[in-house]
Structure 1
Amino acid sequence: MPSTQHLLLKQLLTAATGPLAKYRPRLATMRFAAEVLSLGQLMPWNVFLTDVTIEGMAAEWVRPAGAPAERVLLYLHGGGYVLGSLNTHRSLVGTLAQRCQLNALAINYRKAPEYPFPAALDDALLAYHWLLKQGYLPQNIIVAGDSAGGGLALALLLALREEGQPMPAAAVGLSPWTDLVLPGPLLRRVAYEESQVLEALEISNWGAMYADHLPLTHPLVSPVNAELHGLPPLLIQISDSEVLGDDVMRFATKAQAAGVPLTLQVFQGLVHWWHLFWRFVPEARQALNQVAAFSRQVWQNQDTLSRNQSAAA
């Protein structure tokens, strides 16, 4: 059963998003509101920020004290490909970096509808290749993202595979958006259960904004439709009650059938984006601690492989 804190969060979201469902504000208004709300975030203690520009794209390093210099988390924020920024996800990236003891690179990729597909994917590829040019080894990089950012992380893996480029050590999807085709009845049912959050934010329209001239079923837009062989280890977290849940389960089943090492963690009765509320919701802290445990296992496996290769040589 969800915690009391989560139940309170759900009630607050209901009160906050009811007017959105009724008045349908413009995207510009929603973006402004998201930026204003982000001003109230608090960063974890001993996590430091450094601005960086990657060929014109704004990004920032999120560096926990004591994190090893050679390993990095590339983070892609959520927001339906139309919302979100470095500001809106800074607290989440900060606590995730601290729990994983990784320096995180967060990027402000371009958003639809001004910059539809493949702009966001191109920016994710740009950031990944920039890390390689900075001297980071692919096996020392984990890619992560939430919601649309989680789907973008998966699309990044697919694009790297098709280009014949080296894969990162692993990827993490926090409620990843794996299928932009969302049936109306499903949206209405789950949005009601999720306190109107997703319906109010018109997520079904955002997919069309992002895909633009492409069909929503394109595999780099909806990774659930891709061939999934050859991907690195994946951790995917999802709530069984959120609108993206069924599609994520289909993706997980397909990935496992393709031989992808996949860890699927299903939480009960939580709203979409519960990870963002880590300061208040214990389930969010639990989920992020599990991401940290996954990253430690990835590095342990990498170290074991390196020792074995050295012994064989």
Structure 2
Amino acid sequence: MIDARARQPRPVGAPSVADIRAGFRALMAEMIVPDGIRTSAATLGPRPALCVEPVEGERAGTLLYFHGGAYVFGSPETALSLTGNLVARTGFRAYSLEYRLAPEHPFPAAIEDTVGAYRALLDSGADPSSIAFAGDSAGGGLTVTTCLAARDAGLPMPAAIVAFSPGLDATRTGESMETKAGIDPYFTRESLAHTGRMYRGGQDPHHPLLSPAVLADLAGFPPMLLQAGTNEVLLDDSTRMAARARAAGVDVVLDITADVPHVFQSFAGVLDEADEALDRAALFLTQRVRA
């Protein structure tokens, strides 16, 4: 049902930024947000954030969440089903960051904002061993690139990374770009190129902060959980990142689910595979985040 709905005919031609943003808000408004959480407005560094907390049973620990949306669309509100499910399952507080979006603010604005948010958490007294990065799609990519930029700035690494269907290769050289063409119900090479140009802002895609799956030095990285589905063109962003992490001596779990699309975890409460994947992500986080 989900696959068929995602394949419904779309308008011909490249959509405008306003249309992309409105369509994504409408899609994500249909996702199920779990009970047992509360939200409030917050600020991390210079950027707004959505604080998501469990109503009961809160545990010491903080998730810094980065929403998806190709760096062009999306918000903490569109990712609330994902953030809320992680909070409900772990008991940790989460801050979902409203980082700046392209094309108004191209690369590296989003990374500057996420590093600034992490620095603000550390400056508030939070221990890095009590913080984990989590994100989906472009936000999954930010979990990795934020670690790279934070390490280069001399900041300590967080306790863990959880990335749902992360985008990790602006060069689009993964084999799945071809082998999953037509199987992926959401993306094509052309649609990814459209938003990718907005984010890069003319920068060469052969940059470690744009294509960490093929170019980044992951030495000293925290444990990583990469979750993806077999029906997505970005699948090899995760498989190559996992291989790169393993080669660098990083503790990495590559978690691939069959016959599901990009960020299938959003369908928690509808797809059993989504709930099971979120359970595995929560277990990974509670095993690694320390008070």
Please tell me the TM-score bracket, short chain as reference: over 0.9
Moved over 4 A (4+): 183-189
Q: How does 1:61-140 map to 2 (within 5 A)?
A: 61-68=51-58, 70-140=60-130
Shift of 1:296: 1.9
Tell whether 2:29 aligns with 1:36: no
Tell whether 2:135 aligns with 1:145: yes
Secondary structure (helix, strand or coil) at the match of 1:165 reads coil
Partner of residue 7, structure 2:
14
Identity across matched positions, percent: 36
Bigger share in helix: 1
Shift of 1:205: 2.2
From 155, 162, 167, the counterpart of 2:145: 155
Give the counterpart letter for 1:149 in structure 2.
Answer: G
Shift of 1:259: 0.3
From 251, 259, 269, the counterpart of 1:269: 259
Q: Which structure has the greater CA radius of gyration?
A: 1
Partner of residue 50, structure 2:
60
- The whole-number CA distance in structure 2 between the counterparts of 1:185 and 1:262 is 21
- Tell me, yes or no, if the aligned pair for 2:136 and 2:164 is still in contact at 8 Å: yes
From 233, 244, 249, the counterpart of 2:223: 233
C-alpha spacing 1:125/1:184, structure 2 compared with 1 (3 Å): closer
Secondary structure (helix, strand or coil) at the match of 1:193 reads coil
Give the counterpart letter for 1:32 in structure 2.
Answer: A
- The whole-number CA distance in structure 2 between the counterparts of 1:281 and 1:148 is 22
Tell whether 2:164 aligns with 1:174: yes
- The whole-number CA distance in structure 1 between the counterparts of 2:279 and 2:81 is 15
- Tell me, yes or no, if the aligned pair for 2:174 and 2:237 is still in contact at 8 Å: no
Shift of 1:139: 0.4
Q: How does 1:241-280 map to 2 (within 5 A)?
A: 241-280=231-270
- The whole-number CA distance in structure 2 between the counterparts of 1:148 and 1:39 is 19
Shift of 1:185: 9.2
Shift of 1:141: 0.2
- The whole-number CA distance in structure 2 between the counterparts of 1:220 and 1:187 is 20
- Tell me, yes or no, if the aligned pair for 1:47 and 1:94 is still in contact at 8 Å: yes
Shift of 1:74: 0.4
Deviation per residue, 1:20-39 (Å, 9 max, x gap): 4x343212111122223444
Partner of residue 308, structure 1:
none
Give the counterpart letter for 2:161 in structure 1.
Answer: A
Give the counterpart letter for 1:214 in structure 2.
Answer: Q
Tell whether 2:212 aligns with 1:219: no
Q: How does 1:186-225 map to 2 (within 5 A)?
A: 187=177, 190-195=180-185, 197-199=186-188, 202-224=191-213, 225=215
C-alpha spacing 1:185/1:144, structure 2 compared with 1 (3 Å): closer
How many residues align? The count is: 290
C-alpha spacing 1:184/1:135, structure 2 compared with 1 (3 Å): closer
- Tell me, yes or no, if the aligned pair for 1:150 and 1:173 is still in contact at 8 Å: yes
Shift of 1:135: 1.9
- Tell me, yes or no, if the aligned pair for 1:80 and 1:206 is still in contact at 8 Å: yes
TM-score by length of 2: 0.93
- The whole-number CA distance in structure 1 between the counterparts of 2:165 and 2:28 is 20
C-alpha spacing 1:188/1:27, structure 2 compared with 1 (3 Å): farther
- Tell me, yes or no, if the aligned pair for 1:121 and 1:156 is still in contact at 8 Å: yes
- The whole-number CA distance in structure 1 between the counterparts of 2:188 and 2:21 is 16
Secondary structure (helix, strand or coil) at the match of 1:171 reads strand
Give the counterpart letter for 1:117 in structure 2.
Answer: F
C-alpha spacing 1:271/1:36, structure 2 compared with 1 (3 Å): closer
- The whole-number CA distance in structure 2 between the counterparts of 1:76 and 1:208 is 20
- The whole-number CA distance in structure 2 between the counterparts of 1:52 and 1:118 is 23
- The whole-number CA distance in structure 2 between the counterparts of 1:102 and 1:134 is 17
Runs of 5+ consecutive residues of structure 2 not aligned to the other structure: none
- The whole-number CA distance in structure 2 between the counterparts of 1:149 and 1:84 is 10
C-alpha spacing 1:136/1:185, structure 2 compared with 1 (3 Å): closer
Deviation per residue, 1:205-251 (Å, 9 max, x gap): 22222122321120011111111111011111112331111232111
